[in-house]
Amino acid sequence: MADKQKRPGRRDYLNNFKMDDSGKYAYRGTYMAYTNGEETWKKDLIRIWICCAIPIVLLVILGFLPHSGLDGNLIVLLPYGLGIVALFVLVWKVARLTHGGLRLRKYVYDATVKVLPGYAAAVIITAAFALVGIIITLILGSFQGTIFSTVLFIVGQLCAGFGGVFVQRVTRKMNWSET
């Protein structure tokens, strides 16, 4: 009874940390190694970072512009806000992946590489809804923004959508093996 196993859960990875002789905890679990080579790793990370950085910069700038068309327009504002959140979560996952390097602990691999395509899909979906929303408001004539901000909004959403597609493609091509 004293050696009772914990039930599997969110913090199950903590079972892989064991105390060593010096009294410090050390990771004793499985590692995942990137097998495409260091040059490919660097190129993939640069591409992913560019695909995350450009849309975030454009969409954050748009949020600070006066008369951007986001004022009180729920069908544009809601997907825009959700898209910003999805992009920030995607950037956080990419930052964890970058920090981990070519050899990741299994739980970091599960929390980054495995879920990146899903978070990229969320970015794609929110960008698509935001584009549909801006088109509807332009057709109905209820849009109150400037032409510059409209173009910036459309370019930002297109960058987010295509960036999400690219992040999905790159992360699915990454080869990892258990070590």
Write the CATH number for 167: 1.20.120
Tell me the average pLDDT of the chain.
Answer: 85
Residue 7, in any domain of the structure:
no
Mean pLDDT value across residues 160-170: 94
At residue 128, the pLDDT reads 96
- Per DSSP, 179 falls in state -
The boundaries of the domain holding residue 91 are 32-173
Tokens 């600070």 locate to 64
Q: What pTM was computed for the model?
A: 0.83
Helix, strand or coil for residue 67?
Answer: coil
Share of the chain above pLDDT 70, in %: 84
Whether the Cβ atoms of residue 25 and residue 18 lie closer than 8 Å to each other: yes
For 4, 21, 61, 139, 167, the CA distances from 93, given in Å and listed in that order, are 33, 33, 22, 37, 12
Whether residue 6 has pLDDT greater than 70: no
Measure the CA–CA gap between 86 and 84, rounded to whole angstroms: 5
Has residue 1 got a pLDDT over 50? no
Looking at the structure of the chain, the number of domains it has is 1
Most trustworthy range by pLDDT among 8-12, 165-169, 173-177: 165-169
User: Is residue 112 included in any domain, yes or no?
Assistant: yes
Question: What's the CA gap between 35 and 169, in Å, rounded?
Answer: 17
The mean-pLDDT minimum among 33-37, 107-111, 145-149, 154-158 falls in 145-149
Residue 105 included in any domain: yes
